[in-house]
Amino acid sequence: MKLESRFLLIFTIAIVLFVIFGLLIQYFVIIPAIEKGESTIVKDDYARCIKALQDETIFRLAMAIENRDTDTGEHIKRIDKMTVLFCEKIGIESEDCIKYGLASTMHDIGKIGIPDSILNKPDKLTENEYSLMKKHCNIGSNILDGSKIDILNIAKEIALNHHERWDGKGYPSGLKGENIPLSARIVSLADVYDALSFQRVYKKIWSLEKIIQFLQESKCGIFDSELVDLFLAHIIEFEAIIDKYKQK
């Protein structure tokens, strides 16, 4: 299936979900409440249903994309939970922690524009293939651009910047240090930790000891050193997320 066709199919499914949920809300919530004269309840229930629909649609779209180059959709569940945990430890308000978590699930949405032959290649990518792979950041940003929904704006920020490095040697913009959005710095660390914890077509599983050593050595290079220290201080809680949402 061509990339354009796959993209169209995924978003068609999203639209169908919106329509179905809209009809269900109307039939089971709005009409009965109007008949009872409960206009306030209608408003509150409608808002809750729309929020649930929004969150579910975002998550399902992320799963559809992730399933192309990971064994299951468990990867994005782990990234979601780890991002929320990071935010909680930093001291971000609870409601915003949830937003960051959901937004993190869209970090690789741009991979919809990358061929399967590159995503699932077991060998080292050629220079040309790697250049094409790096474009997924800009593709993801373009897909999410212009939204009026907070979560999608955060998702755009993450999609564009989660491969930037603290030392400025990342991509696509070569941002350095705190010029990299906090959301992207968090997801970058969570994503790498998760990738190293599981087998991929191009690598074997790393031991926890090896991962910890790598993260220690990558402070102020790849990652924000404060985030690495925070992660290591709560390693048991992050490991619990890995254990709970293992690939099926």
Q: Which residues are catalytic?
A: 111
Neighbours of 116 (CB within 10 A): 13
* Cα 142 to Cα 138: distance, rounded to the nearest angstrom: 6
Spatial CB neighbours of 234, under 8 Å, sequence gap ≥ 6: 85, 89
Q: Are 228 and 189 in contact (CB under 8 A)?
A: yes
Residue 240 is which amino acid?
Answer: A
Reduce the DSSP state of residue 191 to 3 states and report it: helix
Listed residue (173, 111, 100) closest to 139, CA to CA:
111
* Cα 181 to Cα 161: distance, rounded to the nearest angstrom: 7
* Cα 154 to Cα 91: distance, rounded to the nearest angstrom: 18
Token representation of residue 118: 């590159």
* Cα 76 to Cα 81: distance, rounded to the nearest angstrom: 9
The answer to whether the Cα torsion of 24, 30, 32, 38 is positive or negative is positive
Token representation of residue 50: 């729309």
* Cα 17 to Cα 207: distance, rounded to the nearest angstrom: 40
